[in-house]
Amino acid sequence: MSASAPRRMPGAAEAYLASLERFGMRPGLERIRRLLAACGEPQRSFQCIHVAGTNGKGSVCAMTESALRAAGLRTGLYTSPHLFSFRERIWRLGEPIGGEEADALAEELIPAAERIAAGPAGPPTWFEFMTAMAFLGFSRAKVDYAVVETGLGGRLDATRPIEAPVSAIVSVGLEHTEILGGTVAAIAAEKAEIIAEGASVVCGEMGDEAFDPIRRRAAERGAALLRVGDEVRVSVLREGPEGSVVEVRGPWGRYGPLALPLAGRHQAANCAVAVALVEAVRRRGAAVAPETVARGIGATRWPGRLEIVRRLPLTVVDCAHNPDGARAAAAALRRLFPGLRWALVLGLLRDKDAGGVCDALAPLSTELFTTAVPSARTADAAALAALCRARTGRRAAAAAGPAEALRRAERAVSSGAADGVLVAGSIYLAAEAMKLTKGVRGET
C-alpha cells in the first residue's frame, strides 16, 4: 500500500469482498489481468501447480501441497469454496492467512480494483479479487510452489493467467453446463485450456469422451501427459472409515504404502493424481524424497469429506453436491459401513442437479430430511422433499432449517429407525453441521 493510501478499518478485506458481486460469473480475463498487472504480476514470482476438475480437485490440491511442504518447499495453497471463513481459501507455509494479512492484501489491491470498476469491464468479481489476493500473498511469502485450484472450468477462470509447468484435470462431469457446455467433451475442452506449453499434465480416472479433448490439447502444447488407470495406477491395500492405505505406481516406480487420511476409493484415485503431480515437480528439479511424500500425504487436512464428525450418534458429513460426487460418496459408504441404515439430511443450492443427487443418496436412507442451506441460492426444502419422494418413493420431510433437520435425524437413530446420520448436498450445509456437532467455527 502506498504511503498516501488511507488506512482501512480491521475487516477491510471482508468488507470489500462483500461489496463485490458474490455470485454469478462474468466470463472474461480482462479484469483479473488488469488487477494482477497493477500489483506487479505477482503470479510470475513463483511456480504453480494448476488443478481443474468437476470433483476431487480440492482434495488433490490439499494432498499435493501437504506433500510438497513435507519435502521442505515453501508452499501456497488456493482452493474454493470455503467452509467457514474466506481466509481458508489462501494458505501459505501450511497456515491460512490471518485477518491482518488479508486486510493488508486487500488494501493494496483496492485502489486498482476501483480504477478497473470505473471502466467498461466493471468491477472485479468476488472470485477475481480473491484470486489476486492469493497470488499477491504467495508472492509476499516467497513461496516456491503454489497449488492453485480453478474456480470454474479453466479457459475463462480467474486463475488462468498463471502459466503452470505442472497441471492436472482430476475429473470431468456434467456441471455448470450453461457456462461450460452441454457435453462431457465440451467441458473437458474448457478445463484443458489450463495446460501450458511444455507442461507436465496428469489426468484422473475418466472415460475417453473426457480424455480425448485433454489429450489433443496436451499434444498441441507439447505437454507430457499421464493418466490414472493407464500409466499411473493405484492399489488400495486397506481401507476404513478414517482413510485408506494405498500404493501408487507410475513410470517413476512405486510410492507406498501411503496412509491416506481421507476415506473412500475416490480419494485413493485422487491420491494417485497428487503423487503424480509431486513426482512431476521432483522431475523438474525439486528436492522431494519418497519418505517426505508419505509423511505429507499422511498429514493432509481436508475437512468435510466423508468426515465422521460425531460418534454417538454416528454422524458423517460430506460435501457431495452433484451426481458424480454423490455416487462416489454412496459407493464409499456402502463399502465402509455395509448394511448401515442412514437418516439422511439433504440440502442443496438451487442450481444443482437435485434429482441426480437424490437418486444417488436416498437409497442409503430409511429416513430423509431436507433443509434449506445457509445461502441466498438455497433450494427450497419442501420442493426438494417432494422431488425426493417422487423420484424414490421414500418418505422425505422438509425441516425448518439445518438444526431441526439434524435433530430429527438424530431422533430417527435413537428410535431405531436408522443407524447413523448422513449430512450431504452442499458445502454450506456441511459447514453448518460441523458447527452444530463439533462446535467448529473455523476461526483462524
Percent of the chain with pLDDT over 70: 96
pLDDT over 80 (residue 443):
no
User: What tens digit of pLDDT does each residue of 74-92 get?
Assistant: 999 999 999 999 999 999 9
Give the tens place of pLDDT for each residue, 53-74: 999 999 999 999 999 999 999 9
Cell digits of residue 38: 497493477
307-438 and 12-298 share a CATH fold: no
Q: How far apart are CA 310 and CA 313, in angstroms?
A: 7
Stronger pLDDT, 440 or 136, i.e. the higher one: 136
Per-chain mean pLDDT for the chain: 95
Confidence grade of residue 162 (pLDDT, cut at 50, 70, 90): very high
pLDDT at 397 over 70: yes
The model's pTM? 0.95
pLDDT of 228 reads 98
Sign of CA dihedral 259, 261, 263, 264: negative
pLDDT at 99 over 50: yes
What is the C-alpha to C-alpha distance for residues 59 and 49, in angstroms, rounded to an integer? 14
- Between these two residues, 10 and 245, which has the higher pLDDT value? 245
User: How far apart (Å, rounded) are the C-alpha atoms in residues 139 and 434?
Assistant: 33
Per-residue pLDDT of 178-202, as tens digits, reads 889 999 999 999 999 999 999 999 9
> Would you list the DSSP string of 113-131?
HHHHHTSTT-SPPHHHHHH
Per-residue pLDDT at 175:
86
Residues 315-358: pLDDT tens digits?
999 999 999 999 999 999 999 999 999 999 999 999 999 999 99
Tens of pLDDT, residues 368-385:
999 999 999 999 999 999
Map out the domains of the chain as residue ranges.
12-298, 307-438
Q: Superfamily for 12-298?
A: Mur-like, catalytic domain (3.40.1190.10)
Residue 26 pLDDT > 70, yes or no? yes
- Identify the band that residue 438 occupies on the pLDDT scale cut at 50, 70 and 90: confident
Whether the per-residue pLDDT at 442 is higher than 90: the answer is: no
Q: Which of 137, 395, 168, 140 is nearest to 273 (CA)?
A: 168
CB 170 within 8 A of CB 60: yes
Superfamily of domain 307-438: Mur ligase, C-terminal domain (3.90.190.20)
Q: Measured in whole angstroms, how far is the alpha carbon of residue 25 from the centre of its chain?
A: 18
Give the per-residue pLDDT at 4.
Answer: 42
pLDDT in tens, 261-271: 999 999 999 99
Instruction: Please list, in sequence order, all residues whose beta carbon lies within 8 angstroms of the beta carbon of residue 147, skipping any fewer than 6 positions away.
Output: 48, 49, 51, 61, 64, 65, 68, 75, 76, 77, 78
